[in-house]
A and B are shown apart, each in its own frame.
Chain A
């Protein structure tokens, strides 16, 4: 029996098995649904960010208009003096946005766990409560969104079980395996070719789905490398399961035995192992209740504000040596004012130290997860897809770091301009907006 003939016979066998065809159609429907879920989220986030940008532009124009007056100040808040750096920086409108990647269509990942826009002021922190997730049904979040990566990672191995479970074992049960061995010139090659048929079928369907996804958000033009990576990792994932199932099929004797073993492996890999790792990490490193961060944002902050001016000034000089020669240094009134308005820099320094502890703690958990990858392929592949689609924890960590950078920039400007007694005019206010961006 020639190889092509085996593949052809398998095709006939496939189209005559309604259960297998229905299973594949269900996989396609679920994937298409998942891709559309990804697309909807991408469009929703993009539209939300566009609205925020629009609102920010309006607010910036409105605030710039205050500088037409001699004493710039909002009409309803006469005590606000926009000519001093403190108020001027407070009135800059700085939003930092995490624009979704067009590859989000493939994996929603951890996107819905975090906020994706934030108004940044010098009082902000990357761990503010507005950095929390969008308003969503927590039961849906807990239940998981059906996206393409879910269909691929969890459903595709199941579909493979349905497509492969009776290969060879059916012939063995019906007693004509010897005949096939003679005709095909070896049952291993025959089984391999039959498996290859289904692997090629699944791969073709998956690539078709990935192409369909690329049309939804224009991935190929916007993010070609992500598109290629998604195809590559999908192929590797399919290959992993195919090899695993092929080994089981080769040694299996009955249909029931094969089905039981394959379903067992699937349950173990997709449910038991990731859930056990999750449970283990949760015991080793329970959820951080952020008491240290609360301390930093409350008691320790008050402690800093309650320090004597000389201690605060020494701290500021240490952080920003360039203000040591400030032109206001001999004016006690101005120095007092500057110390009061720029103490936030000391608070920010403290906050960053505590954030470092939080991030270190989180990274320890991440290291534990990464160490489990060699026996936990599901988590590995899901994280790879999340990373490719920029919906991974690390992508949001980068986003938080960028926010911190913006806070630092605002505080640096606040300190330098306050200690240099700078008067803010429209031109400088414009420059602030340029400066406070990444």
Chain B
């Protein structure tokens, strides 16, 4: 088998058209990696500038009570992950700016896609675009006549007479095309790793490894199936058209159709409906800004009892801060309930979409690629969750300062020491670790693996039924 593989690779090397395509592809890959790096640098620079500017504003708050600062709020910006330059995933359609303030949980806004007219349906020139859409096509064009040309030239007969087995020939042809794909994939990942050598941690390394594995499995499926068709049909054109048809259905038709259908099966509420429900639930709780609110009066009674006083003015603390925090905590429960439901729907959608990988390994590849590049919805939701947790800590610190910092109830002019605002740590996004996120993509990797086994079986049975002439 190794002799056939060696011979195949040598003939690929001698093919001028392929050499030209390979050089062009490598240049495009290089360009995509380099442009991705420049974009990452630009984004990180503007991200750092914005973050520092907002932090400075927060630390220099003056003339504001703690609750005023909660309304003033702060902003967090979505950071650019190093791996996003390989696969941008959902980043261009999600917002980049999130305001964190008291009483309300805002939505992340100002997505890149909303800041200009339409440019590209398939995103930016990232390595993933070339590796997902272009390289498989090249592999198809390399493999579709690998067996049929041997049949037409009579070499297949000769090989079999020389005691080469048909299965060995099919495997050798598949592996030689696959190795070509692997070489380009290895090139991409290696260049990327070299450029980012000093930033590559064990976590990023593991992600890269699985990123590589997903593509490697997909390329095996594409190479194997194309060689299988080439062995099945006498006419190379039929093999090519069959495989092109599969490519079109897998990469263009099904991902769109499945995604749209999945959203219909697990329907998301409209924003208006969602907000109305949240408002309804929120209205059942305590209104932090309304002293006449019945629940606020109950809380007041409990607080008076706790401190053993009869009048709110006698409290050694500022009851306004306690009321605001109670309001906040109730709001958090409402948020948890509604956003929990929303996340459940999104998780169901994702799961159904992942299961579509049973029919379409491209869907599994796309999921795995985005996931391992930390740019899918799981990672986006994780960013939002961390931001919300930070918001809760921030608002609680402000309300506690208002309540226990030294002011009395009704004293809205009391201001904390300026160091207080500095003492509240800034928001820092902790990227989701590989070990935490990897189980989400187990299904995608498993399906790619199952598809690889299926492809091997196709090749096995195809070899048995292969006509020599």
Chain A residues whose C-beta falls within 8 Å of the C-beta of B118 in the assembled complex: 109-110, 379, 382-383, 386, 392-393
Nearest-neighbour CB distance to chain B for A280, whole angstroms, equals: 8
Q: In the complex, are the beta carbons of B47 and A282 less than 8 A apart? A: no
Give A142 to B32 CA distance when docked, in angstroms.
19
Most chain A CB within a 10 A radius of its CB, from B237, B256, B268: B256
Nearest-neighbour CB distance to chain B for A50, whole angstroms, equals: 11
Number of A-B contacts (CB under 8 A): 241
Which residues A321-368 have CB closer than 8 A to chain B? 361-362, 365-366
Residue of A at shortest CB range from B75? A294
Residue among B53, B112, B126, B272 making CB contact with A52, cutoff 8 Å: B272
Residue among A26, A33, A130, A132 making CB contact with B95, cutoff 8 Å: A132
Q: In the complex, are the beta carbons of A140 and B116 less than 8 A apart? A: no
User: How many A residues face the partner with a CB closer than 8 A?
Assistant: 89
- Quick check: which of A98-106, A236-244, A285-293, A402-410 contacts chain B, the rest being far away? A285-293
Q: In the complex, are the beta carbons of A142 and B90 less than 8 A apart? A: yes
Q: In the complex, are the beta carbons of B43 and A114 less than 8 A apart? A: no
- Quick check: which of B243-251, B421-429, B447-455 contacts chain A, the rest being far away? B243-251
Chain A residues whose C-beta falls within 8 Å of the C-beta of B438 in the assembled complex: none
- Quick check: which of B296-304, B324-332, B345-353, B400-408 contacts chain A, the rest being far away? B345-353
Residue of B at shortest CB range from A155? B252
- Quick check: which of B34-42, B170-178, B308-316 contacts chain A, the rest being far away? B34-42
A248 within 8 A of B: no
User: How many B residues face the partner with a CB closer than 8 A?
Assistant: 93
B141 within 8 A of A: yes
B376 within 8 A of A: yes
Q: In the complex, are the beta carbons of A154 and B377 less than 8 A apart? A: no
Residue among B72, B141, B269 making CB contact with A260, cutoff 8 Å: B141
Q: In the complex, are the beta carbons of A137 and B119 less than 8 A apart? A: no
Nearest-neighbour CB distance to chain B for A305, whole angstroms, equals: 11
Chain B residues whose C-beta falls within 8 Å of the C-beta of A52 in the assembled complex: 272
Q: In the complex, are the beta carbons of A256 and B145 less than 8 A apart? A: yes
With A30-B257, A132-B107 as given contacts, are A275 and B125 in contact (CB-CB < 8 Å)? yes
Chain A residues whose C-beta falls within 8 Å of the C-beta of B342 in the assembled complex: 135
B260 within 8 A of A: yes
Nearest-neighbour CB distance to chain A for B206, whole angstroms, equals: 23
Nearest-neighbour CB distance to chain B for A172, whole angstroms, equals: 13
Chain A residues whose C-beta falls within 8 Å of the C-beta of B272 in the assembled complex: 48, 51-52, 117
With A279-B35, A362-B115 as given contacts, are A145 and B256 in contact (CB-CB < 8 Å)? yes
Q: In the complex, are the beta carbons of A129 and B141 less than 8 A apart? A: no
Give A144 to B353 CA distance when docked, in angstroms.
14
Residue of A at shortest CB range from B287? A76
Q: In the complex, are the beta carbons of A133 and B114 less than 8 A apart? A: yes
Chain B residues whose C-beta falls within 8 Å of the C-beta of A181 in the assembled complex: none
Most chain A CB within a 10 A radius of its CB, from B35, B57, B110: B110
Q: In the complex, are the beta carbons of B270 and A283 less than 8 A apart? A: no
Residue among B28, B97, B106 making CB contact with A290, cutoff 8 Å: B97
Give A145 to B255 CA distance when docked, in angstroms.
10
A 15-27 to B, binary, CB cutoff 8 A, 1 in contact else 0 = 0000100110010
* A-B residue pairs in contact (CB < 8 Å), sample of 20: A110-B118, A115-B271, A129-B109, A132-B114, A135-B342, A144-B122, A150-B121, A158-B252, A166-B237, A263-B137, A263-B141, A272-B28, A275-B120, A275-B124, A275-B129, A278-B123, A283-B42, A289-B97, A291-B50, A291-B54
Instruction: Identify the B interface with A (CB < 8 A).
Output: 17, 28, 32, 35-36, 38-39, 42-43, 46-47, 49-50, 53-54, 57, 63, 72-73, 75, 77, 89-90, 92-97, 99, 106-126, 129, 133-134, 137, 141, 145, 236-238, 240-242, 244-245, 248-249, 252-253, 255-257, 259-260, 262-263, 268-272, 274, 292, 342, 346, 349-350, 353, 366, 370, 376-377, 380
The 6 A-B pairs of least Cβ separation, nearest first, read A274-B120, A146-B256, A287-B112, A393-B117, A365-B116, A279-B124
Taking A139-B376, A140-B263, A272-B134 as known contacts, 16 extra A-B pairs with beta carbons closer than 8 A to each other, sorted by chain A number, are A51-B272, A110-B117, A110-B118, A115-B271, A138-B90, A138-B377, A141-B93, A146-B257, A267-B133, A271-B129, A271-B133, A272-B28, A283-B42, A291-B54, A379-B118, A383-B118
